[in-house]
Structure 1
Amino acid sequence: MQASRLPENQRTHALDIAAQEWDYATPAERQETQDWNAANGYCSHGITLGCCPAGCGS
C-alpha cells in the first residue's frame, strides 16, 4: 500500500480521502463484506447467487 510510505499524519488523511472519494475499504472491511455476502446469499460481487454475469453460484 502506497499510503504506508507517508508520514502518519498524512497517511490518516490520505486514507480518509480514499474512503470518501473512491470507496476504499481496508482488507478487514472487505473480508467483513465478503462474509456478509456469503451468509446472505450473495456472490463475491454482491449479486444474488445464480444471477451474477460472471457465473458465480451457478
Structure 2
Amino acid sequence: MSQSHYPTLFIGLFIMVLLLVLPMIYPRRSFRFTMLFQVFTLGMAALLFILELYQALME
C-alpha cells in the first residue's frame, strides 16, 4: 500500500509561504529574530527530511 505524498507537499508549500511572508512582516535588523528564523528553517528542513525518509522506508 503506497502512501500519498500530499501531506509532505502541503508542509513544503506552507514552509515556502512562511519563508516568503515572515521577512516581510518582521524587520531584518532584529538579531534575535534572525537567529530564531534560522533555527526554525533548519528545524523545518530536518522535519521534511525525516518525513521523506520515513515514507521511503515504509514503502
Higher helix share: 2
Normalising by the residue count of structure 1, what TM-score does the alignment of the two structures yield?
Answer: 0.34
Higher-Rg member (1/2): 1
Q: Which of structures 1 and 2 has the larger relative contact order (alpha carbons within 8 angstroms, sep 6+)? A: 2
Normalising by the residue count of structure 2, what TM-score does the alignment of the two structures yield?
Answer: 0.33
